[in-house]
Chains A and B, each alone.
Chain A
Amino acid sequence: MSEWTADEMMTVTAARALAGRISCFVGIGLPSTAANLAQRTCAPELVLIYESGTIDTRPRTLPLSIGDGELAIRAQTVVSVPEIFNYWLQPGRIDVGFLGAAQIDRYANINTTVLGDYRQPEVRLPGAGGAPEIAASCREVVVIVRHRARTFVDRVDFVTSVGYGDGPGHRERLGLRGRGPIMVITDLGVLQPDPETCELILMSVHPGVDLDRIAAETGWPLRTHDSLGTTPPPTDEELTALRSLTTA
């Protein structure tokens, strides 16, 4: 089982980022797959929370939406939508927010609203959902997104969810209480914000991925960390668990 796809590498790496966490507020799609994998591998006690109000849910199949019945019947409790945002997310009780993105920029700001001008959009995307407050209020944020030039842009067309805004100190000036994105996991590598500049820099490259390709797929001059590493490949156990996840 030594072969794997780029998406599998990404999902496995993202799941590992949840090791040791107590609770995770999960977005649908790639984050949900990775969070469910984490629960089956490195973080069996992980409390998964979906914005539909399902708290500590252990779905047996991957949900297609954030409100599938499987999430409700397998939850410790189900609360209303105002409650999940006001009582659970807003006070900063949740360790990790796990988000996807249509665009992400060098300061890890996320756009899921429009491509192009807001009033005359080239592409109208689904919008904010829970993401702005997840990005603001979770103690830390992990982003999982495929590494493409159209996605990794110098500045997002629309700030739906704030990463580090314009750079150092901006989150504090905005009164955001969570730390912000600590890791961006892609199908090519792993990026983290530079502690000084808040700019995303390349921390590790997935096995077999060419550095030039990552540079070509990034819309700003991407810096690499001094001790740039290679991401550990997926283990057989991780791949088996991932491939046994079936979508509803």
Chain B
Amino acid sequence: MAELLTLAEGVAALVHDGDVVALEGFTHLIPVAAGQEIIRQRRRDLTLVRMTPDIVYDQMIGAGCARALVFSWGGNPGVGSLHRLRDAVENGWPVPLRIEEHSHAGLANRYVAGASGLPFAVLRGYSGTDLLHHTGTVATISCPFTGEQLTAVAAINPDVAVIHAQRADRRGNVQLWGITGVQREAVLAARRSLVTVEEVVDTLDPLPGAVVLPWWTVTAVAVVPGGARPSYALGYYDRDNDAYRAWDAVSRDRSSFGAWLSQLLGSTAGFPDGAGSSEVAGE
């Protein structure tokens, strides 16, 4: 069932304009190459979902791929703001971005409900916070047994989940280990999934504590060595903290971001609204 495709083929086949797309990764194993391929293929009007949107979401938002973002913490960890995200939220550039925000516990449980085939999940959370007033997928409910007031979050079932893993075998069984975040839940909650991997091996040696996604739960696998850089792949390469620090200056203004984007694309033809051009639209 899991097809072995190139990254370009996988994105072309599985990620469509207007989709709800979750590229997940919690600092570790972030599917950066897949996100940049989505930029190259000029996807538009995506609803991007991710607990911790970091620099690849900053790139996708700055390139105008997204019209909405569902998230729980949007920053450059240990460095500061995501400037393209801020520009989209504060100034609507390059296109207005609708946001739906959660706490980590809340968004994690939206995936759990989605993966579990339930309409919602229950947690102790959000009580007394202003998030409750702004986020439509959070509600207060009573425990049917005790009457205690608890919080419900709606299930999330993305059209497609995209993750990066250390390795897969030729049938498409996927194995990842270290900090595995919410990737299993994202793939199981999604209608389709694309997994980029560091390598394909003949047989997956069992690894205690590893997460395995069996071939029949994965739509497509693409081999992309280094596909998580500048994040890291435990056992393969380390996090490039300097690259995260350097992104701060690149992303800080529209023209330096535009230069970065032009380099990624070779050209910016087809990018509307000034994204990727060195002209700064009226702020």
> Which residues of A pack against B, CB within 8 Å?
28-29, 51-54, 63-69, 71-73, 77-78, 80-82, 85-86, 89-90, 113, 118, 121-133, 136-137, 158-162, 165, 170-171, 174-177, 247-248
Contact = CB atoms under 8 A, between A and B. Distances in A.
B111 A82 contact: yes
A128 B72 contact: yes
B128 A174 contact: yes
Contact of A85 (B108, B127, B234): B108
- The B contact surface, by secondary structure, is loop
Please tell me the size bucket of the interface on B: 35 or more
A72 B180 CA distance: 10
Contacts of A158: 130
A248 B128 contact: no
Interface in B89-119: 89-90, 101-105, 108-109, 111-112
Contacts of A128: 72-73, 101-104, 129, 131
A130 to B, nearest CB: 5
B81 interface: yes
A89 to B, nearest CB: 7
Contacts of B126: 132
Nearest to A160: B129
Counting from the closest, the 6 A-B pairs by CB-CB distance are: A67-B27, A126-B75, A65-B77, A129-B73, A64-B78, A162-B128
Contacts of B184: 80
14 contacts: A53-B181, A64-B79, A64-B239, A65-B239, A68-B27, A68-B239, A69-B239, A81-B108, A90-B105, A118-B130, A121-B89, A127-B71, A133-B125, A161-B129
Contacts of A78: 178-180, 209
B78 A28 contact: yes
A66 B111 CA distance: 21
Given A64-B77, A67-B26, A132-B131, 15 more contacts: A67-B27, A69-B232, A78-B179, A78-B180, A118-B134, A126-B75, A126-B81, A128-B129, A129-B52, A129-B73, A129-B104, A133-B124, A136-B124, A159-B128, A171-B128
B129 A69 contact: no
A183 B234 CA distance: 37
Contacts of A161: 129
A82 B109 contact: yes
Contacts of B89: 121, 124
Contacts of A131: 103
Given A129-B72, A129-B103, A80 B181 contact: yes
Contacts of B182: 80-82
A82 B112 contact: yes
Nearest to B82: A126
Nearest to A54: B179
Interface in B44-74: 51-52, 71-74
A28 B71 CA distance: 18
B90 A124 contact: yes
A133 B108 CA distance: 12
B130 A127 contact: no
